Amino acid sequence: MCDNNNPKVVLSIKKTVAGLQWKKARKREIEVVVAFCEEATVINTLEGSVRCEPGDAILYGVHGERWPVTRGLFEKLYEPVFPVKIGENGLYRRLSHEVNAAKLTLQCTIPLPDNRGDLGGNAGDWLVKQQDDSYGIVAGDIFARTYEIIE
Number of domains the chain is built from: 2
Domain end, chosen from 95, 114, 139, is at 95
Rounded Cα gap, residues 95 and 144, in angstroms: 17
Provide the residue range defining the domain that includes 138.
1-26+98-151
Q: 85 with 37, same domain? A: yes
pLDDT tens digits along 115-149? 889 899 999 999 998 887 888 899 999 999 999 99
Q: 69 with 127, same domain? A: no
Q: 91 with 105, same domain? A: no
pTM of the model: 0.80
Q: Does 63 have pLDDT greater than 80?
A: no
Q: 37 with 77, same domain? A: yes
Q: 82 with 55, same domain? A: yes
Give residues with Cβ within 8 angstroms of 104, minimum separation 6: 2, 20, 121, 122, 123, 124, 125, 126, 127, 137
Q: Does 3 have pLDDT greater than 60?
A: no
